[in-house]
Amino acid sequence: MGRVVNEIRSSVPDAQVLVVDDGSHDATGSVARRAGARVLTLPFNVGVGGALRVGLLLAAREGASAVVQCDSDGQHPAKSIGSLVAALSHSDIVIGSRFAGDRDYQMVGPRRWASKLLGWAMSRVHNSELDDVTSGFRAFGPNAIRVLSVELPPEYLADTIDALVIAKSHGLIVSQLAVEMSPRLAGVPSHGPLKSGVYLGRSVLVLVLSLAQLVGQRIWRSS
């Protein structure tokens, strides 16, 4: 945790590092604070989507011009933060794709199918090449910060696909940038096979609901 914060601080010295402590029972908060990060401490666990919402809410209130979301396990390379933010000049959300560049990064099982299916569907929805829609390494511009801090649903696993669907319905532009992942500094991958299955199921549901919503919006606008 401390290493991740330090790495980001040295790569982007003029940025503020914000750590969201999602109801953890270890020393995450104090370690991060000691490393020079600001820490938002949630009173109980709300999941990645909820944690992202609170980070974006604080950024929106303080008028931040960009927010970059990254995992705390160190697999998201701090040296790529600058290029993600630079890419915000032509879009509202930039996804750091683990696939677009080198193909070393591999997924297996349901998680891989989910990723393929969702990438295909989201690329069509946004009319833009998006290979890695489940990536947790993303940059948000001011419009995306404002919209998502309010509209993102407070549910488990709701941070990736839902965000892209909401982005579409608010007319935000999404693009991707290839990034090379680092090996994790700590922790284990957060998705076991069962959880991946649940994730796939939920994602398909969100997809169906969102397509219905987008079609409805189109009919509404054209009438």
Partner 1 sequence: MNLSSAIGAVAGLVIYSVVVWLVLRGRLNVRFSGLWLMVGLLVAVLAVAPELLTRLSRFLGFSIPSNFLFFIAVVFLSLLSLQVSMSITSLDKKVQRLAEEIAILRERDPGVDGDGSSP
Instruction: List contacts with partner 1 (CB under 8 A).
Output: 20-21, 23-25, 29, 38-44, 46, 50, 53-54, 57-58, 61, 153-155
Nearer to partner 1, 58 or 139 (CB): 58
Structure tokens at 144: 């995306």
Minimum distance from residue 26 beta carbon to partner 1 (Å) = 10
* Tokens 């549910």 -> residue: 155
Please give the backbone phi and psi of residue 179, each rounded to the nearest 5 degrees, phi first. Answer: -130, 150
Residues in the chain: 223
Nearer to partner 1, 30 or 127 (CB): 30
Strands lying side by side in the sheet with 67-69 = 67-69, 138-140, 93-97, 174-178
Nearer to partner 1, 55 or 110 (CB): 55
Residue type for position 95? I
Minimum distance from residue 42 beta carbon to partner 1 (Å) = 5
Nearer to partner 1, 57 or 198 (CB): 57
Round to whole Å and give the CA distance between 175 and 177.
7
Minimum distance from residue 177 beta carbon to partner 1 (Å) = 29
Which has the closest alpha carbon to 179: 84, 73, 67, 111? Answer: 84
Minimum distance from residue 44 beta carbon to partner 1 (Å) = 7
Nearer to partner 1, 158 or 174 (CB): 158
Round to whole Å and give the CA distance between 23 and 48.
11
Q: Where are the alpha helices (DSSP H) in the chain?
A: 2-11, 28-34, 47-61, 81-86, 109-126, 142-151, 161-169, 193-222
Nearer to partner 1, 11 or 41 (CB): 41
Minimum distance from residue 222 beta carbon to partner 1 (Å) = 30
Minimum distance from residue 43 beta carbon to partner 1 (Å) = 5
